[in-house]
Chain A
Amino acid sequence: MNEKTTKDNIIDLASELRWQIGDNFHDKLTESIYTDAAEIASHAIENNSAPRNYPLDSRIDKIVTSRTWGFPIMIGILGVILWLTIEGANYPSGMLFTLLIEIFYPFLKGVSSQIGLAWWLDGILIDGIYMAAAWVIAVMLPPMAIFFPLFTLLEDFGYLPRVAFNMDAMFKKTGAHGKQALTMSMGWGCNAAGVIATRIIDSPRERLIAIITNNFSLCNGRWPTQILIATIFIGAIVPSSMSGLLASASVISIALLGVGFMFLTSWALTKTVLKGEVSTFTLELPPYRPPRFWQTVYTSIIDRTLIVLWRAIIFAAPAGALIWIVANVHIGDLTIANQLISSLNPFGLFLGLNGVILLAYIIAIPANEIVIPTILMLSVANLGIAGMGGGDGVMFELDSAMETGNILIAGGWTLLTGINLMLFSLLHNPCSTTIYTIYQETKSWQWTTLASILPVIMGFVVTFLVTQIWHLFS
């Protein structure tokens, strides 16, 4: 009993003293340690006045983390990567499309009719599952195979910690943790990975902010959607020589808009439900290392591209079957798809989207990767275009992008729909894997629900506002 009281006394004394010192004890202690370290180091380092020889690293750092050039360089690098992706994906995408959909699809249909497959089985297997998988591969593989190796090279070079360094001040201003810049960068690969990466953030408050706002980093599954829609709708409004540039610029704008929303949400959270002090941390800028080129390309294709593609196919295949079923099972005169789409359509149009997009986002909750293929399949099915995919054109070549665009335009799409889809692709619920990861990391249904619902609500608000403004000026 007596001993216990003494322990309680110590705790009481500690909180009393803490009160006296004020709440910046952590910073002051850190400062003292730094002062000591500097003193000891200055004693021990003998040739302190001799010129240090960190020539290249510090010269690069001076430029890429400078106030003037830091952000333009960041945007420039991202721009070059996206431009290379958009331009470079044209040709292989076209080849894949020809191979998988113009050659192999009719071949499968032929085989199926020869062996006398039942019409519904033929439909589910070939028009549903095969078509969804083929579409995912043709649409996603080429941009991913270019984008991921480039991004990984940048990561291995040591650039990402510099991004964190550049953005640290902004994070501090919003009341969030500077390391959130790192988890945000991880989120550009995969939001689930980004959420796990928030473990490096010390304070639970700041960690929650990082978890909730990670979804504003465009992920693997969403870059291809952005790139494709930008190519079809935004690239098409200028001459073809400029379209790649404009499309890249619009994708960058969306990515930066995401960063903006992340800051806004972080700030709003720190002002409302997650108030508190910002904690300090040390961020070391690791030495630049020339990446081992071929090894990086190889591992990023194996580790990232194929894994993401495989995940997309796994989710796309059943989704394809589901789409075929809802598009072919009639209730009354209309198919289930028709009914769902027309019931979602008023709300969709109200937001400047449409019923197909909303239905696609419901079907695609398991994986963002399949949104575009789902939209295309639903559009085709809903419009009753015969021979799904046959002669629909090649996605990334401008002529045929116009044909793909034609499917969408026949479905009532406009430039506004394209822009809104890009916005909604940025601002909607995380995929189911990420939602599950958020629950795993927070162990709280409340935060998980908030993290899932908040972006959708923001998406609805933003697309609605954009639509109103658009109608005002046109």
Chain B
Amino acid sequence: MATTDPAACNDCAFHNTEGLKKLGVNTTNVDYVVALAGNPNTGKSTVFNALTGLRQHTGNWPGKTVVRAEGGYSYNEKKYKLIDLPGTYSLLSTSQDEEVARNFILFGRPDVTVIVVDAGRLERNLNLVLQVLEITDKAVLCLNLMDEAARHNVSINQRTLARDLGIPVVGTTARSQIGIPELLKTIDDVASGQIICQPHKVENLSKSIEHSVSKLSESLARQFPGLPNSRWVAFRLLEGDERITEALMNNELAQLAVL
């Protein structure tokens, strides 16, 4: 809510719009890869379009998009590739759209994952956020649709939210470009390691599950030291996820641990 008057911010160090070059589909020799995840209808593609200058068409029906869109921009001399993942409500099941999103965050190892959420429907959107944070440590929460949230009388303490989630939070209204400069800066900070995230991990697990999960993730961590998301892999193995079992057997997981 800090940037309702963009004109006042133009001198601020954050507001480095000259640093932004929209590169459209030109995504060769990039320095960083950024994934855009989020629920459908949160304006994810509007954010994507605002950053890349592309005009991605968006659908309103869950499951219409099972492919991902790519675009590029450069910011402060660094080239970024932006991947717009299909909008999903969760990453827990194995429908095709969710698998595309999840596999990219897991195996594609983006430098930053931007999670776009609808500020007016925070609680519902947080389910996906928490799942993404189980997979990756480098994430930015883009609190989009701030204007609609304000209209609906919702006001969010971004500082508290950032502290609880352990990742930076940026409020935006992508449709009118509000908050985009801050978003760019934050993505840059996380990508370059200036901001270190300590993401929230799911807590309220029942004792028997917590016990099984830690037992399994310990033995995973022993087998693959350096695997950043052994806990999440343990979740998936406990659920009998075939794709992850396969990744375990064919050394894909081992490679993730090495990187």
Contact = CB atoms under 8 A, between A and B. Distances in A.
- A, B bound: yes
B219 A21 contact: no
A7 B223 contact: yes
B154 to A, nearest CB: 6
A282 B127 contact: yes
Contacts of A333: none
A426 B200 CA distance: 52
Interface string A329-372: 00000000000000000000000000000000000000000000
Contacts of A201: 95
Interface string A27-53: 011111111111111111111001111
Nearest to A199: B96
Given A7-B223, A17-B215, A30 B153 contact: no
A201 B40 CA distance: 16
Given A10-B216, A10-B220, A200-B95, A47 B154 contact: yes
B28 interface: no
Contacts of A286: 40-41, 60
Interface in B223-259: 223, 234-235, 237-240, 245, 248-249
A25 B92 CA distance: 11
B151 A53 contact: yes
Contacts of A383: none
B9 interface: no
B172 interface: no
B237 A44 contact: no
Contact of B89 (A15, A31, A51, A282): A282
A21 B216 contact: no
A443 B14 CA distance: 54
A44 B125 CA distance: 13
Contacts of B212: 17-18, 20-21
Contacts of B206: 28, 32
Contacts, number: 160
B160 interface: yes
B202 interface: yes
Interface residues of B, number: 59
Contacts of A203: 93-94
B63 to A, nearest CB: 3
Contacts of A25: 209, 238-239
A37 B152 contact: no
A194 to B, nearest CB: 12
A28 B60 CA distance: 30
A41 B237 contact: no
Nearest to B62: A200
A117 to B, nearest CB: 49
Contact of A13 (B130, B208, B216, B239): B216
Contact of B161 (A14, A28, A31, A44): A44
Given A13-B219, A21-B209, A43-B161, 14 more contacts: A14-B234, A15-B240, A29-B92, A36-B203, A37-B126, A39-B204, A40-B165, A44-B156, A44-B161, A52-B154, A199-B66, A199-B96, A279-B93, A282-B89
Interface of A: 6-7, 9-11, 13-15, 17-18, 20-21, 25-26, 28-47, 50-54, 182, 197, 199-203, 279, 281-284, 286-287
18 contacts: A10-B216, A10-B248, A17-B216, A21-B212, A25-B209, A33-B130, A37-B126, A44-B122, A45-B156, A46-B156, A47-B155, A197-B63, A200-B63, A202-B93, A202-B98, A203-B93, A281-B89, A281-B90
* Across the A-B interface, the 6 shortest Cβ-Cβ residue pairs: A200-B63, A202-B93, A41-B123, A37-B126, A44-B161, A282-B89
